[in-house]
Amino acid sequence: MTQNPWWWRFSLIGLIILGLLLRFHHPNHFSFAFDQVQILNQAQSVTQGDLTLIGPRTGPVAMFTGPLIYYQTAVIYRFLPSVYALHLTAAITALLTSLGLIWLGRNYLPYRLSTLVILWLWATSPFLVTLDRFIWNPNWLLLAAVLSFFPLLKSPRLPSRLPDYLSLCLGGFLGYQAHFSGLLLPFLVSLIWLLSIRRHWLLPLVSWAGAVVSLLPTLIFDLRHQWFNLAGWLSLIENQDRLSRFLWWERFGHDLYITLENQLKLISLNLTPSLTLIGGALVCLIFLSLSRLKQTAKFRFNPLLPLIWLLVIILVYAFYRLPTPEYYYLIQLPALMTIVAVIFTKLHQLKLTIILVLLITIISLMALRQNYQRATHLGHLTLGEQLTLSRYLQREVQIRPLKAPRFQVPSADRPSLEYLVKDIPWQTNGARLVIVVPASDKINYQARFGLIGVQVD
């Protein structure tokens, strides 16, 4: 293996730093709501010796995912007993994801440029940066997906090695810890293995093994609680209002559109619906036309493989009748990243370096602009506003006796506000303050912090 030049190492380090800065600048602008409070409460319980077998509960399915996020946060909370333990938890996950992309790129992509492209996409794409600025268990989903996908790009002519098995096993394990959609990853690995007529039968097996190990704590929990999670799965399968027994073509078209949209959002393009269809299809056609040029023995893969990965996910989601937020599609990202990486690498091989540099420059500038706008133009209750309220109330109780406040807030915002004021020494006598969200511009409050208004009851 040739030694990596200085510019390669410098570029990788620079992209990692850029990706972390874009994700974690203005930490007080982060959302702090039910999911984040749940993670902190469970992490505190773990540090006090109250261990758990289950993680966050999923909304659509009456079941729990894995508890990895709780234990990860608990380790950090022991040394940093603050809400900012969440930020450090997410930063470690993001750092591991970036290092995983570098390792996978070096092992399964043919050129240094391909690895740089996927790391550049991770670092700058507003689509990915925005999702990572919301701290919860799906932050692990991208790493789980790339660990499951990239080993499949290896030429079937080459023997499978220990890193291949470890990658697939870890991907299968992390999938369920991140989100219940991560359970699709072993299924996708198995299907691609069958379609590729791969002789290395251990590849899908180790992916399933990782998923089974990840599910073991949940199985133990079910044995103790009348098969609660299994009942949730069966309820989803049997409820045709949630999971159709027939392909829902309207939903298929919707998921196809979202996939094409995500392909463009990955490179910072937000277009009208008609242009999204044209642009997304054009990217796929360019990928197919360029992908077979100058293939190497290490990377002699079927260019249909990423498209099959995407199509299978679209088909599965077409049976699912409930809403699918953006993070459901994170398992598509490895294929979408590969498509962009192959196109950019082939442009370089075809001596179209000027076009390549121009594309990267334009996309990077658009990405930085969108990231700044999303991080500074806020439409939600932020952590900073709530911390400022908490400090204000702590000062007020030192001045005069106050009862525990009354909340006039949406149900989604109540858990975080209650969490941040629960340790304040309230009195049984005295005035009672009312916390109002969202604050009205027509009312003169005793104090106001962004969307939060404080008035005397």
| Residue 227: pLDDT over 70 | yes
pLDDT mean over 424-439: 89
Q: Which residues contact 456 (CB under 8 A, 6 or more apart)?
A: 431, 432, 433, 434, 446
Q: How far apart are CA 46 and CA 404, in angstroms?
A: 28
Question: SS3 of 434, please?
Answer: strand
The pLDDT tens digits of the residues spanning 174-192 come to 999 999 899 999 999 999 8
Does 298 share its domain with 176? yes
Nearest Cα residue to 310 out of 144, 205, 212, 184: 184
Q: Contact at 8 Å (CB) between 87 and 24?
A: yes
Q: What is the dihedral of CA 119, 125, 131, 136, to 10 degrees?
A: 20
The total of structural domains in the chain comes to 2
**Which residues have C-beta within 8 Å of that of residue 168, sequence separation ≥ 6?**
147, 148, 151, 189, 203, 204, 206, 207, 210
Contacts of 386 (CB under 8 A, 6+ apart): 32, 416, 417, 420, 452
pLDDT at 295 over 60: no
Residues 451 and 314 both lie in one domain: no
Residue with tokens 């209002």: 241
User: Per-residue DSSP letters for 79-144?
Assistant: H--STTHHHHHHHHHHHHHHHHHHHHHHHHSSSHHHHHHHHHHHHH-HHHHHHHTS-SGGGGHHHH
Q: Are residues 245 and 178 in the same domain?
A: yes
Rg (CA), the chain: 24
Same domain, 77 and 142: yes
The verdict on 68 and 213 lying in the same domain is: yes
The strand order across the sheet containing 402-408 reads 402-408, 431-436, 452-456, 447-449
Average pLDDT of every residue of the chain: 88
User: Between 449 and 320, whose confidence is greater?
Assistant: 449
Q: Which domain holds residue 296?
A: 15-376
User: Quick one: 181 and 329 in the same domain?
Assistant: yes
With respect to residue 4, please indicate whether it lies within any of the assigned structural domains: no
What pLDDT digit, counting tens, does each position of 194-215 carry? 887 555 778 899 999 999 999 9
Residue 8 in domain = no
Q: Indicate if 145 and 208 belong to the same structural domain.
A: yes
| Number of residues that this document lists for the chain | 457
Same domain, 236 and 93: yes
Q: What is the pTM of this model?
A: 0.92
Final residue in a domain of this structure, among 376, 402, 435: 376
Query: Residue 9 domain-assigned?
Result: no
Half-sphere CA count of 126, side-chain side, radius 13 A: 19
Q: Exposed (0-12), middle (13-18) or buried (19+): which is 67, by Cβ within 10 Å?
A: buried
Report the candidate in 388, 259, 261, 239 with the shortest Cα–Cα distance to residue 329: 259
Look at the block and give the residue holding tokens 């005295």.
Answer: 430
Query: Does residue 407 sit in the same domain as residue 371?
Result: no
Torsion of CA 56, 57, 59, 65, to 10 degrees: 80
- The yes-or-no verdict on residue 29 having pLDDT over 70 is yes
| Mean pLDDT, range 432-448, rounded to an integer | 90
How far apart (Å, rounded) are the C-alpha atoms in residues 274 and 84?
42
Residue 260 — left, alpha, or beta (φ > 0 → left; ψ -120 to 50 → alpha)? alpha
Confidence of residue 429 (pLDDT cuts 50, 70, 90): confident
Residue 156 has a CB neighbour count (10 Å cut-off) of 16
In-domain check, residue 59: yes
424 and 281, same structural domain? Answer: no
Domain presence at residue 10: no
- Whole-number pLDDT of residue 91: 97
Hunting for tokens 């699709």 — which residue is that?
A: 184
- Reported confidence tier of residue 294, pLDDT bands at 50, 70, 90: low
Contact 185, 211 (CB under 8 A): yes
- Quick one: pLDDT at residue 234? 79
Q: Give residue 241's pLDDT.
A: 66
Q: Please give the average per-residue pLDDT across 276-295, as a whole number.
A: 81
Residue that is last in its domain, among 321, 344, 376: 376
pLDDT reported for residue 151: 92
The pLDDT value given to residue 112: 81
Q: What is the pLDDT of residues 94-143, one digit of tens each?
A: 999 999 999 999 888 877 888 999 999 999 999 999 999 999 999 999 99
Give the tens place of pLDDT for each residue, 304-318.
Answer: 889 999 999 999 998
Tell me, yes or no, whether 195 and 300 share the same domain: yes
Q: Is residue 3 part of a domain?
A: no
Residue 6 lies in a domain: no
**Does residue 5 form part of some domain?**
no
Question: Among the three residues 334, 352, 376, which one is the final residue of a domain in this structure?
Answer: 376
Are both 248 and 127 inside the same structural domain?
yes
Q: Which of 178-192, 313-327, 338-352 has the highest mean pLDDT?
A: 178-192
Instruction: Give the pLDDT mean for 263-269.
Output: 87
Q: For residue 359, what are its two tokens?
A: 């594309």
What is the per-residue pLDDT for 177? Answer: 96
- Name the pLDDT band for 1 (thresholds 50, 70, 90): very low
